Structure 1
Amino acid sequence: MTVATLRAAFAGLAVLGLAACQSTSSEPPAPQPVAAAQQPSYVTRPDFRLPEGAGCTGELARFRAVMDNDLATGHVNREVHGRVMADLRGPEAACAAGRAGEASAGLRAVKQRYGYPS
């Protein structure tokens, strides 16, 4: 075979390959149906703000807000959220009784148990 024949053969194959990529359908694809149930957004709302506050009261309020946000965005399910809230009762009672050190240690233990940074 000559070089000219090889070039013509490759050009013909390229044209056939490109022609196979062309769509012959004139109808656009049908839109996908929207799910009826509301799915979690997995993104924190832009108006989300952590609560202010000092000491153990502020720490506990901020962690509760993080957990509520994680539930709303689907990062934790209702069962885990409920367990975390139940586990926070001890640190909250200690904080209310003026035992800030015990409350902070309890909060740190809850965070570690569920994989949150302390």
Structure 2
Amino acid sequence: MRLSAFLAASLTATALASCNAPRQSQPAVEPPQQSAAPLSFQMPEGSGCSGAVSRYKAVIENDLSMGHVNQSVYGQIQGEISEAAAACSSGQDTKAISLVRASKARHGYPGG
């Protein structure tokens, strides 16, 4: 019984000592080389489907210019934006907004 009491005390002391061990510092995170958008970038205003289409188009064009989206994905998204814009201009607001949301979700953009 003495051996198990000694062993338990030894393990407890080891566990407590490890709690007091100095923590290793984390490496500093380097700031990004480019911001997500240039300071001159202005999000288009507007409401309804025309505003949603305009804002999504502006974000995609900015992402292309910043190198966050390659040309083939940009082309695919542009086709999806065109489809949403056509629905919007024909008075199908709900469908247009739905198309924008589906495209955002498909390509990993927030608000999809």
Structure-2-length-normalised TM-score? 0.66
Q: Which residue of 1 aligns with 2:94?
A: 101
Stretches of structure 2 that go unaligned for 5 or more consecutive residues are: 1-32
Q: Could you tell me whether the CA contact under 8 Å between 1:95 and 1:102 is conserved in 2?
A: yes
- Structure 1 CA distance for aligned equivalents of residues 77 and 34 of structure 2: 19
Q: Which residue of 2 aligns with 1:117?
A: 110
Q: Which is higher, the Rg of structure 1 or of structure 2?
A: 1
CA 1:49–1:85 in structure 2 vs 1: closer, same or farther (change >3 Å)?
A: same
Q: Which residue of 1 aligns with 2:61?
A: 68
Runs of 4+ in 1 over 3 A off after TM superposition: none
Stretches of structure 1 that go unaligned for 5 or more consecutive residues are: 1-40
Q: How does 1:1-118 map to 2 (within 5 A)?
A: 42-43=34-35, 44-118=37-111
Q: Which residue of 1 aligns with 2:12?
A: none
- Structure 2 CA distance for aligned equivalents of residues 42 and 79 of structure 1: 22
Q: Which residue of 2 aligns with 1:32?
A: none
- Structure 2 CA distance for aligned equivalents of residues 102 and 75 of structure 1: 27
How many matched pairs? Answer: 78
Structure-1-length-normalised TM-score? 0.62
Q: Could you tell me whether the CA contact under 8 Å between 1:55 and 1:100 is conserved in 2?
A: yes
